[in-house]
Chain A
Amino acid sequence: MSIDMAQFHQIFFEESFEGLDIMESGLLNLDMGDVDAETINTIFRAAHSIKGGSGTFGFSAVADFTHAMETLLDEMRDGRRKVTQPAVNVLLGSVDCLREMLTAIQDEKILDEAKVTEHKKALDTELNGGDNTALPSVQPTQPIAFENENAGWRIAFSPHTDLLKTGNDPVRMFRELAELGQIDITVDLQGVPGLYELDPEECHLSWQITVHGDIPRSEVDDIFDWVEEHCDLAVQDIKQTTQASSPVFDEPPQTAAIETTPPSSATNPPIVSESGQSEKINADKTPSAGKSSASIRVDTAKIDTLINMVGELVITQSMLSLIGEHFDLNKLDQLKNGLAQLERHTRELQESVMNIRMLPISFVFSRFPRLVHDLSSKLGKKIELQLIGEHTEVDKTVVELISDPLVHLVRNSLDHGIETPDERIAAGKQETGTVTLEAYHRGGNIVIEVSDDGRGLDKDKLRAKALEKGLIQDDAVLSDKQTFELIFMPGFSTAEQLTDVSGRGVGMDVVKRNIQSLGGNIDIVSQLGTGSTMAIYLPLTLAILDGQSVAVGDETYIIPLGSIIESINVTERMINRVAGKGETFRLRQEYLPIIRMHEIFSVPNAKATKLTEGLLVVVEGQGIRCGLFVDDLLTQQQVVVKSLEANYRHVEGISGATILGDGSVALILDIPGLVRLSNH
């Protein structure tokens, strides 16, 4: 029978990566002083599963590597080995290594053998040295040497009375012996009690079996392997006429074929391993990033809801077609009800489908304990990480894209925010700093906050720095908020020297831009000496947005509702025309530029060409406000965002398209893009 094992590989990889995440977070949670047995057990199980799977699916290098981890963990689990920080670090390093091995196999890339060997050595060193009281004495399984020719075996088999209760049947063994060669069996009834005492569930028979042929002893032993504890067994070479040998079950069990190599290398020189400290501080390539995004794991409850809803929809549909078949005006009410039902079910269905794309933010948060663990030891700081609201759900796309900006912010907090223990004590703070990651929903947004109780942003320093870099004018008057936001300006870095932790040439300006490209925004609150909070606001989903449709000529455009501040009718005296600089209008204290939609998009047949005839929709995008001049407002509705670029091209001022109720396509406006367009 040939079965294509490759069909199970994908799921094996998925569960292995999950297992690695479990191991990682388990290892990070271990408290050296008070080791939780269940945590160790969980870590062990994950390693064990990966080993079993990798062996079965033919990834022997992985199985071999995991075997060493498993052995280490097994000893910790049994209390034969103390859980020490160095050992945990080696295991963490091994988790990383294993992850790379699996990724390499999955992507069919070349494995970094040297790295694997190095980690393997570190593991072996830990295994052999380390803090174990006694390694289990692994008995090398000795193939028992026999002379080539043998005529067969004489077997005395006396099952204990409880043999049947293990689900074993003597007949099975006879059958298997018969496959080895010709057999003669005699049964010994002596042990059978009288009918009164006879328990039919017990076995009281014993047998003498002779199997003829040139049969290796091991094959005979294999047959009785499962029952050696439940019987008296003696196996004798037919040719040997000497006295009965000692019972066979003294011999080591025959599992040789499967035995993985025992941890080698008492000879390996002990390696002072940096690997536990993980050179992989470079979080740009930590787990979840960049892994295949094609599949999504969905809670079965969500699918059940969906199926129920489809059921409802089908019922409604059949009801409607029934009405349609013999329609007369009497059924108008029924029809209306049916249509209302249809609408409700469609909406619910839409919500449920969107819900499938929602993932808990813990998918992103889960990488941070490791990051904080590694970085704080590297920076010589004591830092505790608090995660709040991990179950808050966000769209899958947001989960994938928010990860890197968050890593950057957290690194910043660790590097620049939290002080060294000495500094903290001097400032009258607790030695251990706290970084908090919190996620929650507010309105149609998800808010993710990164806060620390560190030194906070120094407004004077920020200002001085911005002046020095020529980012602001000498006489610039800046509010607190504006001062803080200086750090988002390109070319600004608050660190006195770039460290390898948060340096890397990517500035906060990139973080801000990335967040804005997700349709979000970022806010800073900070108090000198007590800490900072960065709050990221993101739309719940990128696939649907609340839109305001507007008419320009015969065309319909969608403005994201989130970017609309208000809509106003302007009067002539609000308008200000600056030669060569276009039109502006006064809104309260501000003069805002006007973008005439019909002009910038060359729309024919615009109804309103005089500003006073149409409507100005005041919008804000990337901190820039302006008034969009349109003919009229139409409806507000949720629209499904479709890509214009999938089959076509990017068009400046347009972020995407959507399909309206009548099946036609409407374009969704990109406010910052429009501003850029109008400046040309």
Chain B
Amino acid sequence: MNNKMANTDDQSQQQPDSKKSSDMAQYLSFTLGDEEYGVDILRVQEIRSWEPVSRIPNVPAYEKGVVNLRGAIVPIIDLRERFNLGHSHYTPLTVVVVLQAFIGSKPRVMGVVVDSVSNVIDIEKTRIQSAPDFGAKVSTEFINGLASFNERMVMLLDVNKLLKLEGVDNDEN
């Protein structure tokens, strides 16, 4: 069942035409440097301010550590570092977006560090363009599509892919 949810979600993002029930999708947009990204609002569990993490030894540097989220141990990932956009400087104003995804059928909760959260935006599904090959900074593997909102370009992220861990989850699936 969980599996199904994950699949339909993927489809709705990749083939916007296939879903007729609603033409609009809501995204939470945030910034990293001077770029703007969006994640499906339904995948956002909560937004928290940065708090110190417990470091985990011998893992990739962008996996900053774990925190206690109401009794659950939840990893925190630095998106700037994940996207090779340089280092963040953490302040109490730094924002952590807690996201939920399904890896296979298993739910996974993870926090991602972003510069700041900008808005909840409505995007017409038909207006979402497939991601071109940037060839540049951001690895396109996490990008599901592009949309423009108020003249700005927003890169829509695939949360399921974003929350996959190197060396843990297979790339297929």
Contact = CB atoms under 8 A, between A and B. Distances in A.
Is chain B in direct contact with chain A in the complex (CB below 8 A)?
yes
Contacts of B54: 555, 657, 664-667
A657 B74 CA distance: 11
A652 B58 CA distance: 8
A648 B57 contact: no
A647 B57 contact: no
Given A644-B66, A647-B109, A600 B74 contact: no
Nearest to A640: B71
B69 to A, nearest CB: 9
Contact of A647 (B58, B59, B75): B75
A603 B73 CA distance: 20
Contact of B72 (A600, A642, A663): A642
B68 interface: yes
B68 A664 contact: yes
A606 to B, nearest CB: 13
Contacts of B67: 665
A651 B165 CA distance: 12
B108 interface: yes
A283 to B, nearest CB: 30
A650, A665, A677 pick with most chain B CB within 10 angstroms: A665
A555 B75 CA distance: 17
Interface in A64-79: none
Interface string A638-649: 000011101111
B52 interface: yes
A643 B73 contact: yes
Interface string B33-67: 00000000000000000001111111100000111
A667 B74 CA distance: 13
Nearest to A597: B57
A648 B73 contact: yes
A652 B57 CA distance: 9
Contacts of A664: 52, 54, 68
Interface residues of A, number: 25
Contact of B68 (A643, A646, A648, A665): A665
A653 B57 contact: yes
Contacts of B108: 647
A657 B167 contact: no
A59 B73 CA distance: 44
A651 B59 contact: yes
Interface string A644-680: 1011111111100101000111110000000001000
B168 interface: yes
Most B CB within 10 A of own CB, among A555, A652, A654, A664: A664
Interface string A303-341: 000000000000000000000000000000000000000
B110 interface: yes
B66 A665 contact: yes
Most buried by B among A603, A644, A647: A647
Nearest to B165: A649
A interface: dominant SS: loop
Count chain A CB atoms within 10 A of each CB in B58, B71, B108, B110 and give the residue with the most. B58
A675 to B, nearest CB: 15
Contacts of B59: 649, 651
Interface in A608-658: 642-644, 646-654, 657
Contacts of A600: 57
Nearest to B53: A665
Contacts of B168: 649-650
Contacts of A555: 54-55
Q: Which of A644, A648, A649, A652 has the most CB of B within 10 A?
A: A648
Interface string A531-575: 000000000000000000000000100000000000000000000
A644 to B, nearest CB: 6
Contacts of A653: 57-58
Interface in A486-505: none
A602 interface: yes
A654 B59 CA distance: 12
B57 A651 contact: yes
Nearest to A652: B58
Contacts of B66: 644, 648, 657, 665
A659 B67 CA distance: 9
Contacts of A652: 58
Contact of A665 (B57, B73, B109): B73
B57 A659 contact: no
20 contacts: A555-B54, A555-B55, A600-B57, A601-B58, A602-B58, A642-B71, A642-B72, A644-B73, A646-B72, A647-B110, A648-B73, A649-B75, A651-B59, A663-B68, A664-B52, A665-B67, A665-B68, A666-B54, A667-B56, A677-B58
Given A555-B54, A652-B58, 15 more contacts: A555-B55, A603-B55, A642-B72, A644-B66, A647-B75, A647-B109, A648-B66, A648-B73, A648-B74, A648-B110, A651-B57, A651-B58, A654-B57, A665-B68, A667-B54
10 nearest CB pairs, A to B: A601-B57, A665-B54, A648-B75, A649-B168, A659-B68, A657-B73, A647-B109, A642-B73, A665-B66, A647-B108
